[in-house]
């Protein structure tokens, strides 16, 4: 599989010089669907073992698969979200191997003719750079069941609830060049899937799992031999696994050894990868078209209908936030990373100063949420309350400083910001007479500072501070500033 | 009561309707016949209690004037059809004790139409065989014997229990399945009729799979009309089978007008194979003459890729089978032979549970799908399949139906071919093309050979044109005259 990325990525140091890491990812994303891919059984997570198993899922004799239309629609929706080629004719194949959690002895997957072809994902990196990651394909397949080896001293148990659940395998080109990029790619892919509503992206429940292909090479050199790392089930583990594996490969090569193509398992407890099976031990899956299923065919109208139902995706939303709200790329990127955050922001910004709104949502709100480990949906400050605070700042009712106090009160106690400001006397003083009195008082009390300020106009800030203190922070800082300058003649 | 078992389904239907006899009487006569014929080994499981209960229900229906199309007709069910709560073995040790918690669509259709199940019929293991000798439950004996001989002959296969039970008047009709000839060849060598419908006509749901792209259920009965009556009930569009086709099932009996004037009957020259016995050639000529006499036009046609059909079939069928049979692993149902770990449990179970022919086909199938061989075998076979289907399309530009022999010879002796798989596979030479092309094929009894053994002629139709096959089949049947019944040497 060729990489589409031409420029050299970030490099890491080895004993013999710089190395480049080359990473491709295969992400298994569970399709958000009530029923499994080929049976009517429920695809819900968390039921008692074997509670969601149809005769088809159990591989009973004479049982036949019937494609779940909705899962196909979800795959097409995802393909469109990845700006990918949609294949109106695709084929389900059987991937044959024996394992107790694979009841029929084969997995129904798509091999040579997947439902979705090439696409792209734009990945924003910390630091403002954006890279383009090629998508090789997306295909539909069944999940296997789960073997439980810890339930009985000398027997293994099998839970088939997951057997037959629809997965999308999304294969990237080897376009990623660092652990950071790999994690950012996974994060972006997850955001797109969640925007589309085609996968809940819940890595803890296993509804998104990643296999990471890692190789190393000298900058600009030919691609090295890759190892596939299985079982990498969080953003953090992706970064860990890549770093560990790259270092391992560099050490081997620099020690005079060669990399063997193999499948390795990530051990999240130790943060290591270890050999699972070599290329020689790889299964011969004997893929062939599943004769129980007709080729999957749909028409342009179907694709058009799905396309028409697509929501605005993160990239488009980010562009719009920058264009319509005048946000910078960073704020816009942070806001669109989750659909809920973007929606929250838009509710706050509607009819208000959007930049101010973005500033408050990104810095104050997200900062606080992160600190307390809360998701946007769990925010004690609602979008309406946040919007109200922004309005109170904009119309000069409160200063930014007071706004922080109001935010704190709403966060801990709840309540309507306008009412809080009113009842607790937090309103900004806009009575110019009162402000002027305070200014006069400060000037009169500090003749020495007055002289200094005349020589060095930036000293004006000190006076503003004094006045703000005297007014309990409620004076309008802008007005105070202007008044002091006028009085001092600077 | 013995004459009740001699009736055709159509006659029994009249008798029941006119209350000449009851469904209970008809069923009892057949249960008795089954009990007396255990020497034939046609049944793996007899279900007299189920039969009696169904017959009682039928008598109620008849009394209340709500008779269904197969009301009270005693039938046998090939043991490849899953029958709810009734042992279903596929003729294999590996399905020991397997009682499906579900009913196949075809049998459900039949029972909904009033059919009475006498039991589950013996068959080649997983329908792999042409002589019913690969069954774990032992061979079925053909009720027919050569004149003056008591040598045991095979009833054909894989639907050997079906053919034997119908020919021996144990059941009025039976279900069969046909992957490469498993309905038509046994029908031919036991002197009964049997049709493999167009692929997609009958649901495969609940039928133990052999080769999914070729398997098709169909009826076996003593007359062409009886097959038509049965197929009308068996066929349906089934949303649970993605390969089942959503087109209406016509009234086949209404199409049996006896009139074939002007019908164009194609004679494919490639079916005149090397070393074809003279009696088969003579039978074929007789069939041609009968149809010509009835007003049909005889047309020579060519099916140039016929010689590739058998090799293509013996790649595609085992390939699919090797995958379909992977689920018999000892983990969830059927036989389990324990081992020290999961791999040895698989190996022990499958080594003990599958017979030699099934193991042979799993190995062939695994081989042809393996990396490095897939293109040379499986892909090539699929291409041949396309060419074979095209041959038929081109032939049907010139004719409406094709006439060929069903099998290259009459019933052979038990054990005669078991050590020669290739010679066994050649039994399918006239029938496999039809499966590869997905077309309907009807075998019609066409008389006895010089040794007194039945032979059959095959009619091959256009896709979903079973109606024409029944119409032409009945003409042949009438011209050939009633097939005599075999001597009841087996009765105890």
Mean pLDDT of A191-210: 94
For residue A38, give the chain B residue with the closest CA: B240
- Structural Rg of chain A based on CA atoms: 29
Select the residue from A100, A290, A291 to test the B interface by mutation, using most B Cβ atoms within 10 A. Answer: A291
pLDDT score, position A399: 84
List pLDDT tens digits, range B285-337: 999 999 999 999 999 999 999 999 999 999 999 999 999 999 999 999 999 99
The DSSP line for A114-162 is -SB--EEEEEEPTTS-EEEEEEEEEEEEE---EEE-SSSSS--EEE-SS
- For residue B332, give the nearest of A103, A286, A294 by CB distance: A103
Residues in B touching A293 (Cβ below 8 Å): 242-243
Residues in A touching B319 (Cβ below 8 Å): 288
On whether the CB atoms of residues B456 and B190 are closer than 8 A, the answer is no
The Cα–Cα gap between A234 and A25 comes to: 13
The Cα–Cα gap between B166 and B143 comes to: 10
Is A66 in contact with B242 (Cβ distance < 8 A)? Answer: yes
DSSP reduced 3-state for A171? strand
User: If we measure between CA atoms, which residue out of B364, B335, B328 comes closest to residue B208?
Assistant: B328
For residue A60, give the chain B residue with the closest CA: B327
- For residue B82, give the nearest of A58, A62, A156 by CB distance: A62
- Average pLDDT of chain A to the nearest whole number: 92
Is A61 in contact with B101 (Cβ distance < 8 A)? Answer: no
pLDDT score, position A430: 67
Classify residue A308 by burial, with Cβ atoms within 10 Å: 0-12, 13-18, 19+.
Answer: exposed
CATH class of A432-488: mainly alpha
CATH 1.10.10.410 domain locations along chain A? 432-488
pTM for this entry: 0.91
Interface contacts A/B by beta carbons within 8 Å? 100
The Cα–Cα gap between A116 and A78 comes to: 9
Residues in B touching A156 (Cβ below 8 Å): 342
Confidence of residue B3 (pLDDT cuts 50, 70, 90): confident
Residues in A touching B333 (Cβ below 8 Å): 60-61
Mean pLDDT of A279-307: 94
Is B240 in contact with A59 (Cβ distance < 8 A)? Answer: no
pLDDT at residue A201 greater than cutoff 90: yes
List pLDDT tens digits, range A215-231: 999 998 899 999 999 98
The dihedral region occupied by B21, where left means phi > 0, alpha psi between -120 and 50, and beta the remainder, is beta
Is A105 in contact with B239 (Cβ distance < 8 A)? Answer: no
The Cα–Cα gap between A189 and A166 comes to: 18
List pLDDT tens digits, range A7-49: 777 899 988 999 999 999 999 999 999 999 999 999 998 899 9
- For residue A105, give the nearest of B100, B329, B342 by CB distance: B329
Query: What's the token pair of residue A137?
Result: 């394909």
- For residue B323, give the nearest of A58, A94, A294 by CB distance: A94
For residue A100, give the chain B residue with the closest CA: B331
Residues in B touching A104 (Cβ below 8 Å): 326-327
List pLDDT tens digits, range B99-114: 999 999 999 999 999 9
Helix A460-470 with A447-455: angle, nearest 10 deg: 140
pLDDT score, position B2: 45
pLDDT at residue A164 greater than cutoff 70: yes
Q: What is the ipTM of this complex?
A: 0.96
The Cα–Cα gap between A366 and A186 comes to: 21
pLDDT score, position A1: 62
DSSP reduced 3-state for B195? strand
Is A98 in contact with B346 (Cβ distance < 8 A)? Answer: yes
B370 CB within 8 Å of a chain A CB = yes
The A-side interface with B (CB below 8 A) comprises 55, 58-67, 94, 96, 98, 100, 103-106, 156, 158, 284, 286-288, 291-294
Residues in A touching B323 (Cβ below 8 Å): 94, 96, 105-106, 286, 288
CATH number for the B2-263+398-480 domain, one of 3.40.50.300, 3.30.450.90, 3.40.50.2300, 3.90.1300.10?
3.90.1300.10
B373 CB within 8 Å of a chain A CB = no
Is A103 in contact with B327 (Cβ distance < 8 A)? Answer: yes
Residues in A touching B342 (Cβ below 8 Å): 100, 156
List pLDDT tens digits, range A412-459: 999 999 999 888 878 777 677 788 888 888 888 888 888 888 888 888
HEC-encoded secondary structure of A176-200: ECCHHHHHHHHHHHHHHHHHHCCCC
The Cα–Cα gap between A10 and A486 comes to: 54
B217 CB within 8 Å of a chain A CB = no
In eight-state DSSP terms, residue A486 is: H
B212 CB within 8 Å of a chain A CB = yes
pLDDT at residue A370 greater than cutoff 70: yes
* Residues of B classed as catalytic: 78, 158, 182
Distance, in angstroms, between B85 CA and closest chain A CA? 14
Spatial neighbors of B457 by CB under 8 A, at least 6 apart, are: B283, B284, B287, B403, B404, B405, B406, B443, B444, B446, B476
Is A96 in contact with B323 (Cβ distance < 8 A)? Answer: yes
Judging by DSSP bridges, how do beta strands B43-46 and B116-121 pair with one another?
A: antiparallel
Select the residue from A50, A288, A294 to test the B interface by mutation, using most B Cβ atoms within 10 A. Answer: A288
B484 or B474, which is more confident? B474
Helix B466-480 with B224-234: angle, nearest 10 deg: 160
pLDDT at residue B1 greater than cutoff 60: no
Judging by DSSP bridges, how do beta strands A227-232 and A262-267 pair with one another?
A: parallel
The Cα–Cα gap between A53 and A34 comes to: 13
Is B370 in contact with A284 (Cβ distance < 8 A)? Answer: yes
In eight-state DSSP terms, residue B347 is: H
Phi, psi of A340 (to 5 degrees): -65, -40
> DSSP H helical segments within A352-398, as ranges?
354-359, 366-371, 383-394
Distance, in angstroms, between A96 CA and closest chain B CA? 7
- Average pLDDT of chain B to the nearest whole number: 96
Judging by DSSP bridges, how do beta strands A130-142 and A146-148 pair with one another?
A: unpaired
Mean pLDDT of A56-79: 98
The Cα–Cα gap between A92 and A164 comes to: 14
Instruction: Quote the percentage of chain B above a pLDDT of 70.
Output: 100
Instruction: Quote the percentage of chain A above a pLDDT of 90.
Output: 71
- For residue A291, give the nearest of B101, B205, B213 by CB distance: B213
């Amino acid at each position: 599989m060729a990489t589409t990325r031409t420029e050299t990525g970030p490099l890491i140091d080895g004993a013999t010089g710089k190395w480049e890491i080359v990473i491709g990812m295969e992400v298994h994303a569970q399709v958000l669907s009530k029923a499994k891919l080929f049976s009517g059984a429920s695809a819900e997570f968390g039921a008692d073992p074997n509670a969601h198993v149809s005769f088809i899922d159990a591989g009973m004799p004479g049982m036949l698969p019937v494609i779940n239309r909705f899962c196909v629609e979800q795959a097409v929706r995802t393909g469109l979200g990845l700006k990918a080629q949609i294949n109106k004719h695709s084929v389900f194949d059987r991937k044959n191997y024996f394992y107790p959690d694979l009841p029929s002895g084969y997995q129904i997957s798509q091999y040579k003719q997947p439902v979705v072809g090439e696409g792209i994902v734009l990945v924003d990196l910390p630091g403002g750079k954006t890279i383009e990651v090629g998508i090789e394909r997306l295909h539909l397949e069944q999940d296997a069941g789960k073997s439980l080896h810890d339930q009985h001293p000398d027997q293994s148990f099998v839970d088939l609830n997951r057997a037959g659940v629809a997965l999308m395998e999304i294969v990237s080109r080897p376009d990623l060049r660092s652990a950071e990029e790999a994690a950012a790619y996974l994060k972006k892919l997850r955001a797109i899937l969640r925007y589309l509503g085609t996968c809940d992206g819940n890595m803890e429940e296993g509804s998104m799992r990643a296999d990471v292909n890692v190789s190393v090479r000298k900058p600009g050199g030919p691609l090295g031999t890759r190892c596939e790392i299985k079982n990498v089930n969080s953003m953090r583990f992706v970064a860990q696994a890549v770093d560990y594996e790259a270092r391992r490969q560099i050490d081997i090569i620099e020690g005079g050894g060669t990399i063997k193509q193999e499948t390795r398992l990530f051990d999240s407890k130790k943060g290591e990868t270890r050999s699972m099976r070599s290329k020689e031990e790889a299964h011969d899956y004997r893929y062939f078209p599943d004769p129980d299923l007709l080729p999957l065919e749909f028409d342009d109208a179907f694709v058009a209908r799905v396309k028409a139902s697509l929501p605005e995706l993160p990239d488009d939303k980010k562009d719009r936030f920058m264009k319509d709200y005048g946000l910078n790329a960073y704020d816009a990127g942070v806001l669109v990373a989750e659909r809920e955050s973007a929606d929250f922001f838009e509710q706050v910004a509607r009819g208000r100063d959007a930049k101010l709104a973005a500033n408050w949502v990104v810095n104050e709100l997200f900062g606080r949420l992160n600190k307390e480990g809360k998701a946007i949906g769990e925010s004690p400050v609602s979008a309406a309350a946040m919007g109200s605070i922004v309005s109170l700042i904009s119309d000069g009712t409160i200063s930014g400083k007071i706004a922080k106090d109001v935010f704190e009160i709403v966060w801990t106690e709840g309540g309507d910001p306008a009412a809080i400001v009113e009842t607790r006397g937090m309103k900004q003083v806009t009575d110019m007479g009162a402000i002027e009195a305070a200014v006069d008082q400060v000037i009169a009390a500090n003749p020495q500072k007055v002289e200094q300020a005349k020589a060095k106009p930036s000293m004006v800030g000190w006076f503003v501070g004094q006045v703000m203190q005297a007014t309990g922070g409620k004076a309008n800082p802008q007005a105070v500033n202007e008044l002091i300058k006028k009085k001092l003649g600077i | 009561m013995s004459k009740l078992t001699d009736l055709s389904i159509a006659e029994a239907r009249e008798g029941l309707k006119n209350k000449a006899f009851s469904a209970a009487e008809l069923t009892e006569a057949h249960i008795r016949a089954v009990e007396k014929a255990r020497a034939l080994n046609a049944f793996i499981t007899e279900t007299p209690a189920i039969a009696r209960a169904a017959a009682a229900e039928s008598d109620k229906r008849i009394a209340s004037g709500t008779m269904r199309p197969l009301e009270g007709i005693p039938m046998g069910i090939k043991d490849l059809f899953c029958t709810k709560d009734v042992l279903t073995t596929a003729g294999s040790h590996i399905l020991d004790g397997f009682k499906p918690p579900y009913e196949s669509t075809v049998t459900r259709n039949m029972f909904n139409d009033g059919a009475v199940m006498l039991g589950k019929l013996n068959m080649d293991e997983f329908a792999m065989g042409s002589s019913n000798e690969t069954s774990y439950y032992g061979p079925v004996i053909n009720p027919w014997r050569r004149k003056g001989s008591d040598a045991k002959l095979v009833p054909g296969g894989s639907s050997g229990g079906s053919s034997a039970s119908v020919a021996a008047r144990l059941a009025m009709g039976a279900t069969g399945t046909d992957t490469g000839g498993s309905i038509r060849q046994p029908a031919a060598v036991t002197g009964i009729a049997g049709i493999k419908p167009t692929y997609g006509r009958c649901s495969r749901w609940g039928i133990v799979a052999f080769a999914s792209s070729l398997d098709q259920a169909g009826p076996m009965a003593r007359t062409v009309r009886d097959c038509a009556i049965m197929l009308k009930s068996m066929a349906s569009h089934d949303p649970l089978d993605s390969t089942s086709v959503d087109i209406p099932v016509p009234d086949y009996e209404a199409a049996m007008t006896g009139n074939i004037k002007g019908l164009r009957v194609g004679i494919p020259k490639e079916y005149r194979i090397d070393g074809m016995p003279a009696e088969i050639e003579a039978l074929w000529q007789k069939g041609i003459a009968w149809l010509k006499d009835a007003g049909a036009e005889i047309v020579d046609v060519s099916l140039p890729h016929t010689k590739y059909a058998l090799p293509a079939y013996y790649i595609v069928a085992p390939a699919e089978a090797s995958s379909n049979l992977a689920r018999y692993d000892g983990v969830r149902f059927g036989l389990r032979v324990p081992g020290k770990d999961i791999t040895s449990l698989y190996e022990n179970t499958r080594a003990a549970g599958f017979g030699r022919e099934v193991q042979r086909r799993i190995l062939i199938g695994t081989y042809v799908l393996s990396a490095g061989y897939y293109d040379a075998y499986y892909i090539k076979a699929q291409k041949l399949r396309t060419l074979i289907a095209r041959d038929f399309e081109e032939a049907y530009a010139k004719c409406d139906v094709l006439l060929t022999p069903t099998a290259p010879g009459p019933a052979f002796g038990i054990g005669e071919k078991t050590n020669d798989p290739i010679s066994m596979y050649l039994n399918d030479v006239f029938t496999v093309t039809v499966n590869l092309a997905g077309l309907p094929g009807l075998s019609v009894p066409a008389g006895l050979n010089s040794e007194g053994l039945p032979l059959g002629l095959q009619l091959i139709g256009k896709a979903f044109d079973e109606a024409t096959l029944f119409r032409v089949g009945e003409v042949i049947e009438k011209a050939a005259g009633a097939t005599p019944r075999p001597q009841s040497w087996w009765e105890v």
